[in-house]
Structure formats: C-alpha cells, structure tokens
Amino acid sequence: MVRGLTHLNSDLRQTWATPSLLFSHLQDEFEFDLDVAASKRNAKCSRFFTEADSALDQIWGPRASAWCNPPFKTIEPWAKRAVLAAMEWESQTVLLVPASVDTAWFHDQVVPHSQFWFFRGRINFRPPGKEIKADSGPAFGCLLAHFAPGISPGFMGGRCPRTGQAL
C-alpha cells in the first residue's frame, strides 16, 4: 500500500467530521444551508443528506448553498454533482477534497467549473463525537472547490474573497 493513502481504505475515516473552526470560517463566507455528505453525528447544517438519503440522487437546489466534505475515496461523482447543481439548479456547492491535482476529476470538474483554493498545511479531521488529535489528519493537503452559477473559474490564492480569511 502506498504510504499516506491508507485513508482510502478505511471506511471509518470516510465519515470523519470537518473541524468546527474551519467550517465556522467557511459558513461566514458562504452561508451554507445544506450539508450534502453528512451523517447524523457529523452534519454541519440543519438540513443534510446522509448516505441513506443517496445525496448523489437528490436535487441540491434550487438556489441552495451546499457544503460537501465527501468520502475521499469517491470524489469524482461529488464534483460532477456540484457542476450539475450550479448549472441546473442555480445552487452553489463548496467541496473540501484532497488536493489531488493529477486526477481526472480535478482537471475535468474543478479546473474548468470552480474557483479553488489550496490550504497551507494539513487539516486535522476528527472521528464523529471525538476531539481532534495531532495525528488525525490525512498525509496529504486539501483544497476547497467552489462551484456556483456565473463564477470565473480558476485558482483563487490562499484567501476567501469576501472575508479575506486565510485558508
């Protein structure tokens, strides 16, 4: 197994929650009203889809502001759905995903259809219901991809546009 990619083979790590402080900063920026890749234990919005709800089969709109920290072993369908949500339902979606810039989903979905930011350093995720530990982050960096109607796609640097908060 390739060192650093063990997260792709752990079902438990697929449900780890977004750190609350990170989500709070992003909530100030994007005003989310829907969490599309959640469980009852890690949902970040009062309205959310769980695995049982089959989020990829749901309509993320109209005009929703969706948060998505998807299972890292299956990014491409989530990115495709975010593109569809922007084009068909006039919704915005922000994905928190691995910074896998060599993948097809990054080049086919993120680059042409989103504004994206890279994080400086690594994010420490946490298992549902537990505190963050120093070693709870993946062995790779992450990025945010913002899909929305009418945006100018491309790399946005290291700060969110409205609040100027560093990522």
Query: Average pLDDT of 121-139?
Result: 65
Q: Where are the domains of the chain?
A: 6-155
Q: What is the pLDDT of residues 8-61, one digit of tens each?
A: 445 545 567 888 888 999 999 999 999 999 999 889 999 999 999 999 999 999
The confidence score (pLDDT) of residue 137 equals 60
The confidence score (pLDDT) of residue 16 equals 73
pLDDT band at 2 (very low <50, low <70, confident <90, very high): very low
Q: Which residues pair with 66 in a beta bridge?
A: 34, 93
Cα–Cα dist 59/37, whole Å: 13
pLDDT band at 1 (very low <50, low <70, confident <90, very high): very low
Query: Average pLDDT of 134-152?
Result: 82
The confidence score (pLDDT) of residue 4 equals 42
The confidence score (pLDDT) of residue 162 equals 58
pLDDT band at 125 (very low <50, low <70, confident <90, very high): confident
pLDDT band at 98 (very low <50, low <70, confident <90, very high): very high
- For the chain, the maximum distance between any two Cα atoms, rounded to a whole number of angstroms, is 42
C-alpha distance across the termini of the chain, in Å: 30
The confidence score (pLDDT) of residue 132 equals 53
pLDDT band at 126 (very low <50, low <70, confident <90, very high): low
Q: What is the pLDDT of residues 51-62, one digit of tens each?
A: 999 999 999 999
Query: Average pLDDT of 143-147?
Result: 95
- Cite the DSSP H helix spans in the chain: 20-30, 76-89, 104-105, 111-113
- Whether domain 6-155 has CATH 3.40.50.150: yes
For residue 40, give Cα distances in angstroms to 9, 15, 52, 95, 123: 22, 11, 11, 19, 22
Residue of 166, 161, 7, 158 whose CA lies nearest to 92: 161
Cα–Cα dist 101/134, whole Å: 25
Mean confidence (pLDDT) of the chain? 84
